[in-house]
């Protein structure tokens, strides 16, 4: 079956899709990368590609078509049931995961106790009016402080990926606690500007924690019946070409235009100002370290060998699999491709853990190994600059 035939079949199958309120997680036999890309473009999120199967999110009322066409089976009829253990918990008192307000308190405490090298900044406001907070960690110890290489760590692009908020929070705490007592950390803080944005998409995270756990996008109204844009399909490099949906109700909706969202605008503007040398954007899940390009697997990044080398070094500390992002499946409009191509940033995505929201008891270990991995990126900044 050639690509044209496959496209026609999929167009007929998907063209009348009406995205229902209930989403389902299904599993189908593994299909080739070309077909995976087409499915993703039609607005269905691929959550995991295994050796013998592929999992993706579809509207519940579309299941019969996938069952007939691909012999699909339900993993969860209601995708939100994946997170059932968190349905009735008070996160502020009964979970290790941070709410938006708790994140603010941690950041304020760090600034209070380490004001000589940590400061808190708002880089923008969300659609619902929440500050998008960032920590700047650097010791202003000489006249060259304003010209230090800058490094970015950020989490919480996707609302349901709560673990992606925890790692940058704990990284900030680790750096604060080890400054002056650990020579390497001291050198990094003295010589670099380290920026940490734990929650890029605060509206989405708050909605996921308080309402619908499986929520992924922002919360801006985008049609009469749909809310939100996938912020990691909203950056401006090759925006909308592959792996993103034009359907407003889709979980991978790319938005009406590049940088339509307050949160992606905030990251963009900070990146233009700071010209980050390197970055890590935390997501979940899959235990992967991804590097450009994401928009296509037919073009190799100019710095492919160097990106690969840095990723492999970081992977020594968390045993994640380092691969080109499009090797998973093509997805245009992500932060890494834009940062790398527009700013020159050595940009990486970590797909943390083995689930979107790991159990509470797993969080500490996930943070520990990934803090070590993040520190190894700081250790390679001089090499990247050469």
Q: Which pLDDT score, from 0 to 100, does residue 282 have?
A: 98
Residue after which a domain boundary falls, among 77, 112, 129: 77
Say if 176 falls within a structural domain: yes
**Does 196 lie in the same domain as 314?**
yes
Say if 55 falls within a structural domain: yes
Say if 85 falls within a structural domain: no
Say if 350 falls within a structural domain: yes
Q: Which pLDDT score, from 0 to 100, does residue 11 have?
A: 38
| Catalytic member of 45, 161, 166, 351 | 351
**Does 99 lie in the same domain as 68?**
no
- Please report, for the domain that includes residue 166, its CATH number: 3.40.630.10
How many structural domains comprise the chain? 2
Banded pLDDT at 12 (limits 50, 70, 90)? very low
**Does 318 lie in the same domain as 175?**
yes
Write the secondary structure of the chain as one string of H (helix), E (strand) and C (coil). CCHHHHHHHHHHHHCCCCCCCCEEEEEEECCCHHHHHHHHHCCCEEEEECCCEEEEEEEHHHHHHHHHHHCCEEEECCHHHHHHHHCCCCHHHHCCCCCHHHHHHHHHHHHHHCCCCEEEEEEEECCCCCEEEEEEECCCCCCCHHHCCEEEEECCCCCCCCHHHHHHHHHHHHHHHHCCCCHHHHHHHHHCEEEEECCCCHHHHHHHHHCCCCCCCCCCECCCCCECCCHHHCCCCCCCCCCCECCCCCCCECCCCCCCCHHHHHHHHHHHHHCCCEEEEEEECCCEEEECCCCCCCCCCCCHHHHHHHHHHHHHHHCCEEEEHHHCCCCCCCHHHHHHHHHCCEEEEEEECCCCCCCHHHHHHHHHHHHHHHHHHHHCHHHHHC
Say if 342 falls within a structural domain: yes
Q: Is the pLDDT of residue 199 over 50?
A: yes
Q: Which pLDDT score, from 0 to 100, does residue 3 have?
A: 46
Residue 275's domain comprises: 93-385
Q: Which of 6-10, 99-103, 117-121, 212-216 is predicted with the least confidence, judged by mean pLDDT?
A: 6-10
**Does 304 lie in the same domain as 208?**
yes
**Does 349 lie in the same domain as 227?**
yes
Q: Which pLDDT score, from 0 to 100, does residue 18 have?
A: 37
- Please report, for the domain that includes residue 63, its CATH number: 3.30.70
Residue after which a domain boundary falls, among 44, 77, 110: 77
**Does 18 lie in the same domain as 49?**
yes
Q: Is the pLDDT of residue 21 over 70?
A: no
**Does 198 lie in the same domain as 73?**
no
Q: Is the pLDDT of residue 15 over 70?
A: no
The predicted model scores a pTM of: 0.88
Quote the mean pLDDT of the chain.
89
Give tens-digit pLDDT for 221-259.
999 989 999 999 999 999 998 888 888 988 899 999 999
Q: Which pLDDT score, from 0 to 100, does residue 273 have?
A: 97
Give tens-digit pLDDT for 33-74.
666 666 766 667 788 777 788 888 888 888 888 888 888 899
**Does 108 lie in the same domain as 67?**
no
**Does 308 lie in the same domain as 171?**
yes
Our answer to whether residue 256 is catalytic in this structure is no
Mean pLDDT of 4-28: 54
**Does 189 lie in the same domain as 113?**
yes
Residue after which a domain boundary falls, among 51, 77, 103: 77
Mean pLDDT of 189-203: 97
**Does 59 lie in the same domain as 203?**
no
Say if 87 falls within a structural domain: no
**Does 129 lie in the same domain as 31?**
no
Mean pLDDT of 169-173: 98
Q: Which pLDDT score, from 0 to 100, does residue 92 have?
A: 79
Say if 289 falls within a structural domain: yes
């Amino acid at each position: 079956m050639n690509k044209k035939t496959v496209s026609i079949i999929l167009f007929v199958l998907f063209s009348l899709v009406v995205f229902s309120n209930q989403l389902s997680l299904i599993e189908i036999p593994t299909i080739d990368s070309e077909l995976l890309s087409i499915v993703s473009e039609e607005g269905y999120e691929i959550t995991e590609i295994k050796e013998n199967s592929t999992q993706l999110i579809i509207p519940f009322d579309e299941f019969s078509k996938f069952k007939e066409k691909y012999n699909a089976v339900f993993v969860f009829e209601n995708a939100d049931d994946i997170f059932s253990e968190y349905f009735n918990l008070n996160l502020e008192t009964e979970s290790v995961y941070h709410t938006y307000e708790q994140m603010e308190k941690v950041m304020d405490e760090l600034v209070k106790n380490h004001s000589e090298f940590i400061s808190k900044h708002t880089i923008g406001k969300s659609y619902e009016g929440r500050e998008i907070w960032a920590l700047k960690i650097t010791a202003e110890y000489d006249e060259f402080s304003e010209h230090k290489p800058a490094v970015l760590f950020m989490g919480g692009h996707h609302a349901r990926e709560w673990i992606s908020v925890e790692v940058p929070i704990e990284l900030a705490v680790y750096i604060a606690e080890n400054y002056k007592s650990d020579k390497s950390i001291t050198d990094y803080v003295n010589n670099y500007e380290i920026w940490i944005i734990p929650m890029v998409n605060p509206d989405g995270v708050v909605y996921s924690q308080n309402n619908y756990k499986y929520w992924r996008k922002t919360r801006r109204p985008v049609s009469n019946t749909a809310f939100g844009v996938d912020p990691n399909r909203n950056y401006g490099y090759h925006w909308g070409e592959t792996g993103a949906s034009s359907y407003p109700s889709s979980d991978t909706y790319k938005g009406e235009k590049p940088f339509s969202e307050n949160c992606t605008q905030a990251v963009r503007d900070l990146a233009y100002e700071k010209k980050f040398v390197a970055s890590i954007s935390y997501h979940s899940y899959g235990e992967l370290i991804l590097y450009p390009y994401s928009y296509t697997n037919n073009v190799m990044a100019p710095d492919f060998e160097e990106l690969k080398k840095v990723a492999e070094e970081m992977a020594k500390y968390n045993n994640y699999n380092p691969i080109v992002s499009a090797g998973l499946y093509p997805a245009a409009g992500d932060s890494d491709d834009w940062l790398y191509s527009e700013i020159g940033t050595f940009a990486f995505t970590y797909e943390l853990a083995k689930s979107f929201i790991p159990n509470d008891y797993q969080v500490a270990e996930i943070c520990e190994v990934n803090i070590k991995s993040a520190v190894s990126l700081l250790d390679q900044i001089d090499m990247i600059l050469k």
